[in-house]
Amino acid sequence: MSSGTQVRFTLRPDRAEGFSRGFLTAVYEFDGNRTVRVPMPWVNTDKGVDEFSCTLDTTGYVGLIWYSFQLERLDGRNQELGTYQMTVYDGTDEVPDWFGKGMCYQIFPDRFCRTQVPDPAGMVGGRSVHQRWEEHPAFRPAGRTPDGHDIMNRDFFGGNLKGVESRLDYLASLGVETIYFCPIFEAAENHRYGTADYSIVDPMLGTNEDFVHLCEEAHKRDIRIILDGVFNHTGYVSRYFNGDGFYETPGALQSKDSPYYGWFDWKHWPDSYESWWGIYSLPAVKEDSQEYRNFIFGGKQAVVRRWLKAGADGWRLDVADELPDDFIHGLHQAVRETDPNAIVIGEVWEDGSTKIAYGKRRKHLLGGHLDGLMNYPFRTALIDFLLQGNGAGFRESMETLRENYPRSAFYSAMNSLGTHDTLRILTYLGTGSERWERSKEWRSRYQMEPFELERGRRLLRLGFLVLFSFPGAPTVYYGDEAGMTGYEDPFNRCTFPWGKEDREMIKFCATLGNYRKKSLALRQGCLQWGSCREGVLSYTRSWEAVSVAAAVNSSLNPQEVRLPWEGGEAVDVFTRRRYRPEKGTLRFYLAPQSGVLLEMAATELKN
């Protein structure tokens, strides 16, 4: 609800209940839990029900309102209803709408494509490089630091920006409209989430000029670029902390006179400091440091501004719920000042409207902070449907988000089935489990049985169908469309299998991606639910006079589907089979573990 809206509430109980009046109680959480009690007088009787109404004013308020109702009978007995959530956001903040419309593709840069085997000599971090692209990533420690910490993630494959550029036509053929890069800045570890230098592209990936050229070539293909901003912590091995002394200029660990000393939270200098989740290699920064803020977003040459000017179209903020609200607000302002059409997406694993971090309710979606979020609730609900058949549960989870999120945030959500932080979706759907009861050694070696692989492929096709037809940006983790498998990090970060791809799955994904690219109904249409029950999930997306419907049966039995449908015949995008509606409803049966994507017949569109 946009701030300033006069919200009208109406209760319609059966007249036989004998209610005489009602009250609305509203708690304005972001205004010190200010509570108002609004009378709901009787206003009408209609077809055996009474109507009690009132209006709630949201003028001048931004935040959550928790409201409930009380109905009173003539005999003095009461009925309580609620509590419910209302998200009141700043409607003056204009959110660019391009991100949620088309397909996004997430790339883990070291593992996507390389143009040559790099020489790691002289690079930060004491790296090793796999000579063969098909090798498996290392998961055991590569050694120990002098103070006894395991050295991890120093094995590289040498994927680079020129490699990505060489595959832009492949990405365009999938229908990709946005590339989201995991971190590309210089860093000691292959995941690069411990930034060593925010000012340069990691030399194994290429140069700053390579990035500029990549953006130019991507933009020629109408593909935008989103960068990963890791601003909650830096690397132990970095220009700023300089834990191993790699950099010539003193970092915070070497000297209190270092310009970076005040960036970090020292328990006892130099041997004890705050770090992200207690991981020594990721020292946490003090986001309230003005010097740090100026470096990241405040100054004219600040990090977020500089890379937008170089060609990036937005930022994804790592662990956004661990960044202070005013830090995100300042960064968001800097992004908009630099490029009014750039976006800021945040990593939050829960419902972002109610997220509490460090004991404080966050302002992520209230305007001027995050434009959208990684939609892990979508992933959780969809996997639950695919594996357990809970169609009603998926609808309930998504309706909760739709009710709680501003429309722009719901439609700008980064929807995905897998990311660099989750096991490969094909493995999950095929085996049905993350297999935490097994050892990491076992998970590193496991090869899916043929029946598991086929089961996973069937369910993944259904998952892709929902992913590409639902509101929000359908986001594919590199290689999921090519049939990549693997359990958790680092087994979910293997190299892209060029030349050994699952061509059938790629074709299926490309059909969906390119259909999404041309369908206004899928890009921005409203959502109306159809059958959602055990084993069945269906809904319709509509924009103006055009509708597209998706229906999926994840069960092992045929299932009846009913869908609202205004118009003539519907045609399956894949098989071209026709379906005829009756009285505004499509009714048909789906075979086990199958789905359809239905569009209006061409003759209908011409009329």
And the tokens for 420?
A: 């660099």
Residue 404: both structure tokens together: 């709680």
How far, in Å, are 34, 120, 150, 194 from residue 189 at the CA level? 48, 12, 13, 7
Catalytic residue among 177, 347, 481, 488: 347
Instruction: Classify residue 449 as exposed, middle or buried by CB count within 10 Å of its CB (0-12, 13-18, 19+).
Output: exposed
User: Kind of pairing, strands 356-357 and 360-361?
Assistant: antiparallel
Active site (annotated) includes residue 155: no
> In terms of C-beta density within 10 A (0-12 exposed, 13-18 middle, 19 or more buried), how is residue 531 classed?
buried
Query: Residue 237 carries which DSSP code?
Result: S
For this structure, is 480 an active site residue? no
Residue 130 backbone dihedrals phi, psi, to 5 degrees: -70, 125
For residue 182, give Cα distances in angstroms to 153, 166, 168, 227, 393.
15, 18, 17, 7, 31
How big is the chain by its Cα radius of gyration, in Å?
A: 26
* Helix residue ranges, H only, 405-536: 407-411, 425-431, 440-445, 450-469, 503-518, 520-524
Contact between 494 and 477 (Cβ < 8 Å): no
Strand partners, 10: 53
Neighbour count for residue 552 (Cβ, 10 Å):
30
Task: Report yes or no: 558 and 533 within 8 Å, Cβ to Cβ.
Answer: no
Residue 57 bridge partners (DSSP): 6
SS (H, E, C) 525-579: CEEEEEEEEECEEEEEEEECCEEEEEEEECCCCCEEEEEECCCCCEEECCCCCEE
Which among 548, 562, 550 has a CA at the least distance from the CA of 604? 548
How many Cβ atoms are within 10 Å of 29's Cβ, its own excluded?
Answer: 13
The residues near 309 (Cβ < 8 Å, ≥ 6 apart) are 338
Options 318, 321, 371, 452, the catalytic residue: 318
Cβ within 8 Å of residue 573, ≥6 positions away: 511, 515, 596, 597, 598, 599
Q: How far apart are CA 229 and CA 226, in angstroms?
A: 9
Three-state secondary structure of 159-171: CCHHHHHHCHHHH
CA 32 to chain centre: 31
- Looking up tokens 């004998």 gives 18
The β-bridge partners of 285 are 264
Q: What positions carry a catalytic annotation?
A: 318, 347
